[in-house]
Structures are given as structure tokens and as C-alpha cells.
Amino acid sequence: MAKARIAVVGAGLMGHGIAQVFALAGHAVTITDTVTANLDSAKTRILANLKDLGDDETAIERVTPVSELAQAVRDADYVVEAVVEDLPLKQKLFIEIERHVRADTILASNTSVIPITRIMEGLQQRERALGTHWWNPPYLVPLVEVIETQWTSPQTVNFAMSLHAASGKKPAHVKKDVPGFIGNRLQHALWREAVALVEHGICDAETVDSVIKSAFGRRLAVLGPLENADMVGTDLTLAIHKTVLPDIDSRPKPSPYLEKLVEDGKLGFKSGEGFRKWSPEQQTALRSRVLQHLKRARADDMKAAQ
């Protein structure tokens, strides 16, 4: 794919990481933010990440911080928005962006949960707009969900799919703009049952996590659930579903157990206790374990691609 001119709006946790991925892939990237400190530190943060990962540090030369939105997006082929999760702000921003870009510039939002349809409904040319949902950290987690709305053109979807694949990501086409897209629907279906198991006294929180990590969690990175179903047989899967599904939590609202935790101020790491207690040392150790795991997986992927 030809190199593109990319504008990233929002230089926070996700924005700077997205800019890093595109710059490393050879694209020219402008990045903008309304908070001067966040914009000013963007290149430093990207360079630190490149160094830490042993990536080509000259990629930083392709990143240009720009304080004015109009100037940042003016020459862009592709604009991706990663500002705070606020619908009216995102809606206003895209209407503003559309005033400054070419008629064929593609516009994407990195929202986690807001429907893309709502964000883009005020645009003049809604066929050029879509969602691109990256996962944190953008330079370590391969998936980018590419979400089309009822208005998105096939050309827009193809461009986004090709751009992300050529930038070393694993794009997944989400054909309908549904809450949670694909990844978070799957993740939270699992989390609902995880909470229910604790709520109903079947095991404690530590056991839930341990069962996942030491059993199917081990396989999940190389064996998806539907591959697994085919491997064991759809007939066996059907038989298991007939027995287990009637008993699995299917309430269409959050568990009262989770609501009580929040009510009691047990907010997890930030309060020192959630489903279980977390000392500052335990929190650091877990964050570090996750980061090391993701880095190793990325290094393995890169080796395999050589």
C-alpha cells in the first residue's frame, strides 16, 4: 500500500501509540491535542516506546506535533480521532474536521463503546466515516476492529483494512455497528459468567482467574472458540450447550455482586480492593507481567513474519 498522510487527533494514551504504529510503518503522521503538555510530550513518549521495543528510532522523524486542528488535518488522507470518550465532543470534532479536509479524506474514531453511527451522524459525507477500535497498548496488541456503519462505503472499509494490515496490525471487519463491537462483546460475555460464579459461591475470584489462565486461556491465543468447536466436533459442542447454557448467567444487566462492590468503594487497583485485595507491589507486578507477556508475543510475531 502507498504511504499515506495520517492525522491523529488526541495525543493521550491511545493517540500517541497509534501515531507510533503508523510512523513506524513509514507513514507521515501529524498529531494534535488541545492540552499543550500532552502534545509537547507526545514525541518523547513515542521515542521512549520505540527505544524500549528496539524498533527503528528514526520513525520519530515522521511524527509532527501540530497545535491547530485545521492545520493538523488539512493535508491528511486519513484522520483518526482518539480524544476523551465524550459523544458531544466527538460529534462536534468530526463536524469541525470535515470542514478542513479533502472530500476523499477518510475519517475514523477510536471510541471504545460509543456507537460509530452516533458519532458520525452529523457529517456531510458519512460514507467516508467508520470506527477503528485499537486495543491498549496500540503498539503491542495486534487487533484493530474496523467498524462500518449503515453509510460506510466499501472503499472506505477496504482502505482502513489495508492501511492497518500494511502497518503490521490485525484488522477485523465488524460489519454492523453493535455495542461492544466484537472483542468487548466476547470479553464481557466471559466476564458476566466470571462474576456470576463468584456471586453464587461456586468459587472465589482468584479461582476463576486461575482456571482460565491455567486451562483454556493457555490455548486461546492459538485456538479460537469456533476453531475449538470444530476440533472437538459441532455435535459435541451442541450437546454441551444443551446441558450448560440453561445454567449460565444470561441476565441482561450487571450482576448485583458487581454493583455492591462499586457501592462499597471496592473499585479494584485504584482503591486497593475489588474482587480481591491489591497491594501497590501486587499491582505493579501484575501490570509488569502483562506488559512482558505482550512484548514477548509481539517479538514472536515479528520473528515468525521474517
Ligand X SMILES: NC(=O)c1ccc[n+]([C@@H]2O[C@H](COP(=O)([O-])OP(=O)(O)OC[C@H]3O[C@@H](n4cnc5c(N)ncnc54)[C@H](O)[C@@H]3O)[C@@H](O)[C@H]2O)c1
Active site residues: 112, 133, 145, 184
Residue 53 to residue 135: CA distance in whole angstroms: 17
Candidates 59, 62, 69; CA nearest to 39 is: 69
- Say how many residues touch ligand X, by CB under 6 A: 24
14 binds ligand X (CB under 6 A): yes
Which CB, 145 or 196, lies closer to ligand X? Answer: 145
CA 217, CA 240: separation in Å to the nearest integer?
A: 19
User: Which of 21, 59, 93, 196 forms a contact with ligand X (CB under 6 A)?
Assistant: 93
CB-wise, 41 or 153, nearer to ligand X? 41
Residues between 30 and 59 that touch ligand X (CB under 6 A): 32-35, 38
DSSP state of 253: S
Interaction of residue 187 with ligand X, rule CB under 6 A: no
The answer to the question of residue 134 lying near ligand X (CB under 6 A) is: yes
Query: Does residue 158 touch ligand X according to CB under 6 A?
Result: no
Q: Does 112 bind ligand X (CB under 6 A)?
A: yes
Residue partners of 113: CB distance under 8 A and separation at least 6: 85, 179, 180, 184
Question: Is residue 9 a contact residue for ligand X (CB under 6 A)?
Answer: yes
Residue 72 Cβ, how far from ligand X at the closest point, in Å? 9
* Binding status of residue 91 toward ligand X by CB under 6 A: no
Among residues 57, 61, 85, 300, the one that binds ligand X under rule CB under 6 A? 85
Residue 82 touches ligand X, criterion: CB under 6 A: yes
Beta bridge partners of 147: 131, 174
CA atoms within 13 A on the CB side of 42: 32
Asked if residue 265 lies in contact with residue 271, where contact means CB atoms within 8 angstroms, the answer is: yes
Q: Could you say whether residue 20 binds ligand X (CB under 6 A)? A: no
Stretch that binds ligand X, among 85-93, 219-227, 231-239, 259-267 (CB under 6 A): 85-93
Does position 13 bind ligand X by CB under 6 A? yes
Residue located via cell numbers 455497528? 177
Amino acid symbol at 204: D
Report the distance separating Cα 185 and Cα 30, nearest Å.
32
Residue 71 beta carbon to ligand X: minimum distance, rounded to whole angstroms: 13
Other beta carbons less than 10 A from residue 69's beta carbon? 19
Residue number, 178 or 223, with CB nearest to ligand X: 178
Residue 136 near ligand X by CB under 6 A: yes
- CA dihedral for 134, 138, 141, 143, sign (positive or negative): positive
Residue with C-alpha cell 499491582?
283
Q: Minimum distance between the CB of residue 69 and ligand X, rounded to whole angstroms?
A: 6
Q: Determine which residue in the list 91, 110, 156, 255 makes contact with ligand X, applying CB under 6 A.
A: 110
Among residues 136 and 284, whose Cβ is nearest to ligand X?
136
DSSP 157-183: HHHHHHHHHHTT-EEEEE-S--TTTTH
Q: Could you tell me the smallest distance in angstroms from the CB atom of residue 252 to ligand X? A: 23
In degrees and rounded to multiples of 5, residue 268 shows phi and psi of: 95, -145
Interface residue list for ligand X (CB under 6 A): 9-15, 32-35, 38, 82-85, 89, 93, 110-112, 134-136
